[in-house]
């Protein structure tokens, strides 16, 4: 590995400037090396630092804290910590005075707030990019139910970037009602960083904008004074691993009156009456924070942000970019003895306008697709954690494989109880296409050794012929021998 590392440093000298992350990996994430684990699923969820748990446990251990919906000392103390975390979030995104931070269960709950509260209606519309998480796709059901139109802006292939010309046409379409445009700052499928300039372009055409920032902000700065979407969804465990169960919707203050909640709940009203059948919703974030928040976990958000600040987001971004470039070039260089490429990368093959996500499929010496589920199983035996499937982003996967509406509808006609494995089997046998892939994602604790181990594992699939979809079995022992000798 030493020779490969030296070559890597020559190609990416700026990586040496990120050495502090190696020190923090040893002190805060030592369990990775102690257990010889390679964690390559940071987009699924980041890893927590040991100090985050210690600091949070110490905070809870020294305070008497109760449900914040009261004026008792325990409640007041808890309210202070919740509000402190809220202000920390707004400071992190440079959004103080411009945005309201609404704590939610997760990023999906944040997106649901927008879907159920946005004033979709006849003459209005919902426009979204084909590349979107299912939690953004799902908002279309609210739009359809209220009579609004729904349209998708396509992607270009093979890079899977937004088709800017077609998007411009869709944004310019006339409308008689309120319209919402949604896109991800970074694709959770391909790692593409979509242009944040789309926010201003959509605003100029009269659209409100929903930005899904969950995959973007763990390794990139989002400055909401420079880029001003109306709604932003955030996942904290994707940023720094802990706590889970707390997300956030950032709403631009000028857009908050646009949202109209279809119901009310405990904690969201200033007044409610049974006899009078009336309620008065609480202003600001309180009107959206249903019931009792995960209040003991919320202070851990401020702790996590402090930890991320100590690491330096720009430093993380530099390290991830260097490692991603080396990973891409190493995978593209893999060949079977026949000369056929072993790997197909979905999306850009350079680090220009892309993050630390590399999504791929492997192919055997005859060009047949290797079952990604079996690759995941073999990787797991080597202590490598990665993710497979469609990553809750069917649009990007369909665009990557060239799947059409006809392909999908034809497959659905074969069974009323469709599952992803069954769909994969149908598509692969009929068209030689895939409906899923293998995703490797890098993050705050990644290092060269992690990427090197994955590349050596991938090289171990060279000349394998019994891993393709449809085979009854696969030759695990043969793979092991190759890996041990690589």
Q: What do you get for the CA distance between the two ends of the chain, in Å?
A: 11
Nearest in space to 346 (alpha carbons), one of 131, 182, 163? 131
How far apart CA 126 and CA 453 sit, in angstroms, is 43
Nearest in space to 182 (alpha carbons), one of 259, 225, 235, 130? 130
Indicate the DSSP class of residue 476.
H
- Report how far Cα 443 is from the mean position of its chain's Cα atoms: 12
Count Cβ atoms below 10 Å from residue 86 Cβ, excluding itself: 19
Strand, coil or helix: 41 = strand
Q: Which of the residues 248, 322, 390, 392 is marked catalytic?
A: 392
Tell me, yes or no, if 392 is annotated catalytic.
yes
Q: Are 370 and 200 in contact (CB under 8 A)?
A: no
Nearest in space to 42 (alpha carbons), one of 447, 459, 370? 447
Cα→Cα distances 319→8, 13, 204, Å: 12, 11, 36
How far apart CA 253 and CA 406 sit, in angstroms, is 43
Write out the catalytic residue numbers. Answer: 392
């Amino acid at each position: 590995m030493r020779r490969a590392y030296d070559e890597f440093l020559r190609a990416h000298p700026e990586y040496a400037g990120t050495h502090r992350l190696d020190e923090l990996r040893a002190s805060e994430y030592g369990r990775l090396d102690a257990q010889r684990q390679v964690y390559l699923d940071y987009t699924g969820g980041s890893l927590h630092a040991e100090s985050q748990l210690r600091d949070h446990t110490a905070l809870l251990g020294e305070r008497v804290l109760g449900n914040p919906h009261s004026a008792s000392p325990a409640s007041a103390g808890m309210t202070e910590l919740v509000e402190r975390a809220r202000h920390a979030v707004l400071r992190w995104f440079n959004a103080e005075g411009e945005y309201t931070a609404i704590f939610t269960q997760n990023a999906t709950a944040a997106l649901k707030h927008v879907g159920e509260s946005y004033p979709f209606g006849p003459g209005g519309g919902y426009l979204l990019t084909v590349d979107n998480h299912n939690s953004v796709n799902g908002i279309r059901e609210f739009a359809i139910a209220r009579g609004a139109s729904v349209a998708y802006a396509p992607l270009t292939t093979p890079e899977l970037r937004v088709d800017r010309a077609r998007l411009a046409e869709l944004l310019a379409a006339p409308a008689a009602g309120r319209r919402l445009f949604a896109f991800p700052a970074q694709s959770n499928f391909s790692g593409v960083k979509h242009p944040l300039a789309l926010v201003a372009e959509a605003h100029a055409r009269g659209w409100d904008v929903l930005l899904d920032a969950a995959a973007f902000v763990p390794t990139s700065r989002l400055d909401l004074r420079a880029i001003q979407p109306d709604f932003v969804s955030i996942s904290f465990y994707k940023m720094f691993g802990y706590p889970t169960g707390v997300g956030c919707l950032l709403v631009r203050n000028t857009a908050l009156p646009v949202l109209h909640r279809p119901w009310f709940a405990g904690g969201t009203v200033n007044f409610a009456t049974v006899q009078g059948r009336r309620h008065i919703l609480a202003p600001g974030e309180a009107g959206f924070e249903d019931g009792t928040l995960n209040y003991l976990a919320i202070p851990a958000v401020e702790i996590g942000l402090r930890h991320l600040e100590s690491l330096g987001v720009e430093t993380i971004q530099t390290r991830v970019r260097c490692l991603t470039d080396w990973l891409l070039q190493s995978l593209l260089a893999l060949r079977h003895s026949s000369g056929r490429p072993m790997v197909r990368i979905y999306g850009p093959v350079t680090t220009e306008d892309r993050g630390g996500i590399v999504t791929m499929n492997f192919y055997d010496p005859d060009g047949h697709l290797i079952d990604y589920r079996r690759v995941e199983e073999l990787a797991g035996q080597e202590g490598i954690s990665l993710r497979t499937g469609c990553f809750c982003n069917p649009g990007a996967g369909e665009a990557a494989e060239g799947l059409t509406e006809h392909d999908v509808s034809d497959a659905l006609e074969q069974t009323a109880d469709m599952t992803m494995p069954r769909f994969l089997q149908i598509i692969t046998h009929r068209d030689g296409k895939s409906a899923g892939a293998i995703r490797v994602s890098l993050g705050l604790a990644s290092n060269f050794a992690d990427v090197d181990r994955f590349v050596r594992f991938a090289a171990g699939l060279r000349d394998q012929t019994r891993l393709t979809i449809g085979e009854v079995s696969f030759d695990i022992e043969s793979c092991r021998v190759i890996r041990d000798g690589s």
